[in-house]
Structure 1
């Protein structure tokens, strides 16, 4: 079992007070905190190696290039991509999904084709496909969900047709706390010669991801949710598809040669990485991978599962609580979304903040899912491996306290 108290020592930000209370950070689905090892890696780059990469021949440029490309290899290994040619550095999941929708979607989608997403998707995995469908006069189709909130593979098989070209689904939901059967969904769309795109923002930080085993054609994730810097991320794509895909940004390292009227592109992966990249971000993300692998992704997933087994029943036992997603802790990730009868989620989050507890409230960039659930907004507590069981107890105790406060206020 992970020693969260010991691990917490690596995260300086967690040792502060908020509203005169010790900070308990339960907003990890929005962004994770950064260990000192990541902060030190970024600082080291800026203090000793700060230079532009790839084309410089001086010592600093060579050191910066070496560190940046070493980070790419770490990420290749982390998700089990076949080659570093398949690992593109991005600004995050949103950038990756937009690159695929424009650079690949525009190539293969024709009028009347179908694009499949689900009601649970983050706006970053809805709007790019809406825009693609509009550009190409294609049809955007929503796949059915089970009662627990998973994509229903059996019913989806009745929805997916020969017109299906792209399916884009989140690996794990940022609201429902579920992990979708990506491998089965990939097999379904591949039966129709379509392509599987995966939003891995909520899965990659919390479990071992093997893009080859999942048979994902594209897989996007963000660095800032997995201990890395903001503005960093990765788009994985199968090499043959990336060779076919068009870049959507131009300039800098992605160019091979510029003629008077046309230009040619560099080889993978640099074909897509226009301009000066977020060098420090890539190096910091590599350091985050080092940190996660030293703990072990299986150990992280097991610890979070134990935390959910502990917290979820206590939350469900509170009168007036509605928890969204699976009722069974074994099916639930560390993302726990809920509402408390009679209290607006924003008021609930504000009251938690007065207790020093950071949770999120709102539609979580998932307005189609809010309509599906017939709510305007929800509160969300999201746990990570540096959260302790004592913090979980305080979360539940504070929720009881908040409930009583609002109850007394109404009398």
Structure 2
């Protein structure tokens, strides 16, 4: 496709606005985006403002077929920066920046207050109580899960139930502590099979000679990062608590779009969550933000922090040290990710400003728009069903019409980039077991693929680098292409993306 042809179907690039000094919450009146049905004008203006403020939006680049403009559809992997958040950080935060852990100087005091306020914003947005600790973790959900496991002080390897569509970060850490991990099967529609979970919970409770120190834990994704299918976290938490199990939830894919409620009141108060974790970098505006762990303080049983060092102690003498009692500080050793955690508070504040009603309307609208545009599209198979409530993120494979074989996912993603500027993601989305379910890859076939990828016996679990050791074998790695349509994407741009897929 020539540059002229692309320009005929590409969305109009909004004019860059010059951002004047302003408060974080001020919303300019702009009206370049058509509101969906029943969408409030104020909310429509905010969505338009967010879309226009994405740094690098519609940025031109030179590809093999000429110049194209970026159309970013990879927010499920990472959000992009917002100019008004970066303006606020530059003008308000960095001008008063100083290290935390002291309050005697104005810079350290102001920075500490900014960071404390960011923590409170996260707490309030997630309806966490004083019984819940809000801890910033350095490496997204992976860091949060490891910190959680450390604090559980597991004397006996636990029994852990996981959902059918868990990300590796919610699966592998439990395997590494020798837990017995049982994967709950999906229902025919693709939801977590609650009947199977209840049966297994009852069997675990009735097991003769069960070790009383063995914890039973349920770890479930609030949404699949492959299909966007949403879990019923309230029903899951109630079921787990009725059978004496802990309820942990991975909100990595869901957090930017759905409400996070640590303490719902349904079912006689059994619906509370023992821990949730998510990655703020997946929010729009969340570039370079830490992960977040929100956990019941009663579960933080380790008196020694996960990372011992500066900022974790109350007093140190030559032969003894006393750690802080406050877990939120004890578990954030060393100089924390100061600006990053402040930015995390800002993106949570932005989500709250948009409002859950508007978010839900846009999510439903974009899902409906996708199904309409892709209806009857030849050769495209969207993974997962349409029956369940889901986020507008879609994974698909493309079948070659002449041979009936699937086009390689990396080839399809490269074509989307080179022809249309669409930034998609190919692979297994770090959710290998669920990806194999969706692609119909049995365990024997998966074992053969693994052997072919590793290539020589005796290597075991350790490969130095998949790219440097065996670059030619990457073609054997199964996968799909994933896009997502963020809530602030104008309909015109979403239609452009979907018609490019056709």
What is the TM-score normalised by the length of structure 2? 0.74
Question: How much has 1:243 moved relative to structure 2?
Answer: 5.0
After superposition, the Cα gap between the structure-2 partners of 1:219 and 1:307, relative to the gap in structure 1 and judged at 3 Å, is: same
Write out per-residue CA displacement over residues 176-232 of structure 1, whole angstroms, 9 at most, x where no aligned residue.
211111122212222232211111111110012111115110100111111323241
Q: 2:167 aligns with which of 100, 122, 146?
A: 122
Distance 1:245 1:143 in 2: 33
1:132 equivalent in structure 2: 177
Quick one: higher RCO (CA 8 Å, sep 6+), 1 or 2?
1
User: Alpha-carbon deviation of 1:245?
Assistant: 7.2
Q: Distance in 1 between matches of 2:483 and 2:169?
A: 21
Alignment partner, residue 16 of structure 1: 59
1:196 to 231, 238, 247: 247
Hey, what's the Cα distance between the residues in 2 that align with 1:140 and 1:273?
Answer: 29
Which residue of the partner structure matches residue 405 of structure 1? none
Structure 1: runs of 5+ lacking an equivalent: 401-411
2:145–2:170 Cα contact (<8 Å) kept: yes
Deviates more, 1:30-39 or 1:237-246: 237-246
Count of equivalent residues: 392
Q: How far, CA to CA, are the matches of 1:322 and 1:264 in structure 2?
A: 58
User: Which is greater in Rg?
Assistant: 2
> Higher helix share goes to which structure?
1
Contact 2:226 2:394 in 1 (8 A): yes
Q: How does 1:42-191 map to 2 (within 5 A)?
A: 42-44=89-91, 47-83=94-130, 86-91=133-138, 92-104=140-152, 107-108=153-154, 110-111=156-157, 113-133=158-178, 138-160=179-201, 161-162=204-205, 165-191=216-242
Aligned to 1:237: 295
Judging changes above 3 Å, is the alpha-carbon distance between structure 1 residues 358 and 269 closer, same or farther for their aligned structure 2 residues?
Answer: same
1:8-407 equivalent positions in 2, closer than 5 A: 8-18=51-61, 19=63, 20-44=67-91, 47-83=94-130, 86-91=133-138, 92-104=140-152, 107-108=153-154, 110-111=156-157, 113-133=158-178, 138-160=179-201, 161-162=204-205, 165-213=216-264, 214-226=271-283, 227-243=285-301, 247-266=305-324, 267-328=326-387, 331-342=389-400, 343-354=407-418, 355-373=420-438, 374=440, 376-400=478-502
Detail structure 1 runs of 4+ shifted over 6 Å in the superposition.
Answer: none
CA distance in 2 between partners of 1:164 and 1:237 (Å): 16
Give the C-alpha shift of residue 394 in structure 1: 1.1
Query: Can you list the C-alpha shifts for 1:14-72, whole angstroms capped at 9, x where unaligned?
Result: 13124422321111100112222221233235631221113241111001001110111
Provide, for residues 277-318 of structure 1, a one-character-per-residue CA deviation record: whole Å limited to 9, x for no partner.
000001111121222222113311221211111112422421
Unaligned runs of 5+ in 2: 1-38, 206-213, 265-270, 401-406, 442-477
| Whole-angstrom distance in 2 between the partners of 1:78 and 1:69 | 14
Q: 1:245 to 1:80 in 2, by over 3 A?
A: farther
CA distance in structure 2 between the aligned counterparts of 1:21 and 1:335, rounded to whole angstroms: 23
